[in-house]
Amino acid sequence: MIKFISYDGKWPALCMGTLTVEKDGKQYSMKYILVSGGSCGFNNDYSESYVNEGEWSVDKDALPEELKKDVEELTYLVNMNIPYGCCGGCL
> Given this model, what pLDDT does residue 89 score?
59
The whole-number mean pLDDT for each consecutive block of 10 residues of the chain, a chain of 91 residues, reads 95 87 97 88 89 90 96 97 75 59
Sequence-distant (≥ 6) Cβ neighbours of residue 90 within 8 angstroms: 40
Whole-number Å distance between alpha carbons of 89 and 51: 10
